[in-house]
């Protein structure tokens, strides 16, 4: 199977390394946007900026820079993986418009609104971006609880491959299912994308609570009520409610909200320590999608009449409109209500 992974950040590199460990069946190309980065990866056989300490297998081909080479490799592939943040998805799909090869993205987020004056001025989920830019591409999403470092080290991990197309689901499973990675299939790509995007916003809230030493009860409450928010928005957007009890919902929320490898959780910890959003983002050096998705999540929730009080507090915190302790008071001061309402 020929696989090309576009985007040599932490997650793209980890999955490319994982697939390349199977050289009897897989030929894998990792493509970096910047040609100089591709040369450095080739020279050092390590991705020192994004995934330090993981040797790149000799069978992994490293390319970059030149778009003609990218399009050529993509047209010959059996599966294309787009491993950029959400912000890189639209331009990458636009480049690949003419290609007819199964494709999956890894990004977890909503795109910020493109044109605030448009009649429906909302940011989009990845599959909605694909529908606009490259509707003919057979596409899907690979998601689930998965820190890149652990996957690269071969630690056991389970993912979910979601697409409306059985052929795309099969391609993702064939590419990555193996002794250390289980890949489950799903046809609910809306639910899988909503879970992956909104858990990042909620991980900021949990990081904040832990940074303020609010305790383990508060953390469990935030995770549980956060899952209720995710499911309410997801169902309103057309997802299946059961998806939120699976890997891309509960699974990824628990991982990201509690694991200190999470960049989004670290944003919350930094806000609790008194940093501004800008300072927190700068100190990470990696993308924390929750920071960029939070406003869109809230806009879409408001438009659909969905109540998302934790997300609302995260947005106010990120905008500097609430201080951490005020956010806690705002959440605790809400009127009583039924748990399942």
Ligand X SMILES: O=C(CO)COP(=O)(O)O
Q: Which of 252, 317, 322, 328 binds ligand X (CB under 6 A)?
A: 252
* DSSP-based three-state secondary structure for 141: strand
* Residues forming a β-bridge with 62: 30
315 CB burial (10 A radius; 0-12, 13-18, 19+): buried
Which residue number, 83 or 203, has a Cβ lying nearer to ligand X?
Answer: 203
Q: Which of 5, 11, 27, 268 binds ligand NAI (CB under 6 A)?
A: 11
| 264 touching ligand X, by CB under 6 A | yes
| 289 touching ligand NAI, by CB under 6 A | yes
Name which of residues 35 to 94 contact ligand NAI (CB under 6 A).
50, 83-86, 88, 91-92
Site string for ligand NAI, 20-39 (x = CB under 6 A): -------------x------
| 108 touching ligand X, by CB under 6 A | yes
| 109 touching ligand NAI, by CB under 6 A | yes
Sign of CA dihedral 131, 132, 133, 134: positive
Q: How far is the CB of 150 from ligand NAI (least distance, A)?
A: 8
Helix (H) or strand (E) holding 263: helix 263-272
**Residue written as tokens 């064939």?**
174
Q: Are strands 2-6 and 79-82 parallel, antiparallel or unpaired?
A: parallel
Name which of residues 202 to 231 contact ligand NAI (CB under 6 A).
none
| 7 touching ligand NAI, by CB under 6 A | yes
Structure tokens at 91: 């331009």
Q: Are strands 103-105 and 79-82 parallel, antiparallel or unpaired?
A: parallel
The answer to whether the CB of 311 falls within 8 A of the CB of 227 is no
* Catalytic residue list contains 199: yes
**CA distance to 49, 156, 249, per residue, from 180 (Å):** 24, 5, 21
Q: How far is the CB of 284 from ligand X (least distance, A)?
A: 9
> For binding to ligand NAI (CB under 6 A), which residues are involved?
6-12, 33, 50, 83-86, 88, 91-92, 106-109, 146-148, 286-287, 289
**Where in the sequence numbering do the catalytic residues fall?**
199
Q: Which residues bind ligand X (CB under 6 A)?
A: 108, 145-147, 200, 203, 252, 255-256, 262-264, 289
């Amino acid at each position: 199977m020929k696989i090309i992974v576009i985007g040599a950040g932490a997650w793209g590199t980890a999955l490319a390394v994982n697939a390349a460990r199977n050289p009897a069946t897989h030929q894998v190309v990792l493509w970096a946007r910047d040609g100089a980065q591709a040369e450095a990866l080739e020279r050092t056989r390590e991705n020192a900026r994004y995934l330090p300490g993981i040797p790149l297998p000799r069978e992994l081909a490293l390319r970059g820079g030149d778009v003609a080479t990218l399009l050529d490799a993509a047209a010959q592939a059996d599966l294309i993986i787009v491993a950029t943040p959400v912000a890189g998805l639209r331009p990458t799909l636009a480049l690949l418009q003419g290609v007819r090869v199964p494709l999956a993205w890894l990004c977890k987020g909503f795109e910020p609104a493109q044109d605030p004056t448009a009649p429906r001025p909302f940011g989009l989920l990845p599959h909605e971006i694909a529908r606009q830019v490259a509707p003919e591409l057979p596409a899907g999403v690979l998601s689930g609880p998965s820190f890149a470092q652990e996957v690269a080290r071969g630690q056991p991990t389970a993912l979910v491959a979601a697409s409306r197309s059985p052929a795309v689901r099969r391609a993702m499973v064939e590419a990555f299912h193996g002794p250390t990675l289980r890949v489950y299939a799903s046809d609910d790509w809306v639910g899988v994308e909503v879970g992956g995007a909104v858990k990042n916003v909620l991980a900021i809230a949990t990081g904040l609570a832990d940074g303020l030493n609010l305790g383990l009860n508060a953390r469990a409450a935030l995770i549980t009520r956060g899952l209720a928010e995710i499911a309410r928005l997801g169902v309103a957007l057309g997802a299946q409610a059961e998806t939120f009890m699976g890997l891309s919902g509960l699974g990824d929320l628990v991982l990201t909200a509690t694991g200190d490898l999470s960049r989004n959780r670290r944003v919350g910890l930094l806000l609790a320590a008194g940093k501004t959003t800008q300072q927190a983002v700068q100190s990470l050096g990696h993308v924390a999608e929750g920071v960029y998705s939070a406003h869109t999540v809230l806009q879409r929730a408001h438009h659909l009449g969905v109540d998302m009080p934790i997300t609302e507090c995260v947005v106010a915190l990120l905008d500097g409109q609430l201080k951490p302790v005020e956010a806690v008071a705002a959440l605790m001061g809400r009127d009583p209500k039924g748990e399942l309402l």
